[in-house]
Amino acid sequence: MIGSSLLEALTEVVPIEDPRIDLAGEGVTTVREIMSTELATVDTSTQLMEAARVMSAARAGSVLVIDGDSLVGIFTERDILRALADSSSADRARVSSVSKWMARDLVTVAPETTVAEALNQMLFGGFRHLPVTEGRSVVGVVSMRDLAKSIAGD
Question: Which candidate, 77, 133, 146, places its Cα nearest to that of 106?
Answer: 133
Asked if residue 143 lies in contact with residue 128, where contact means CB atoms within 8 angstroms, the answer is yes
Give the C-alpha separation, 147 to 35, whole Å: 9
Pairing outcome for strands 62-67 and 70-76: antiparallel
Asked if residue 89 lies in contact with residue 64, where contact means CB atoms within 8 angstroms, the answer is no
pLDDT per position in the chain (154 positions), as tens? 444 554 454 444 434 444 444 444 556 899 999 999 999 999 999 999 999 999 999 999 999 999 998 999 999 999 999 999 998 888 888 889 999 999 999 999 999 999 999 999 999 999 999 999 998 899 999 999 999 888 887 5
**CA dist list (Å): 17 to 20, 26, 47, 120, 154:** 9, 12, 49, 22, 18
DSSP letters of 78-93? Answer: HHHHHHHHHSS-HHHH
Rg (CA), the chain: 21
Asked if residue 61 lies in contact with residue 7, where contact means CB atoms within 8 angstroms, the answer is no
What is the dihedral sign for C-alpha 49, 79, 46, 92? positive
Give the C-alpha separation, 22 to 28, whole Å: 6
DSSP, res 23: T
What pLDDT score was predicted for residue 90?
84
Considering the entire predicted model, what is its pTM? 0.78
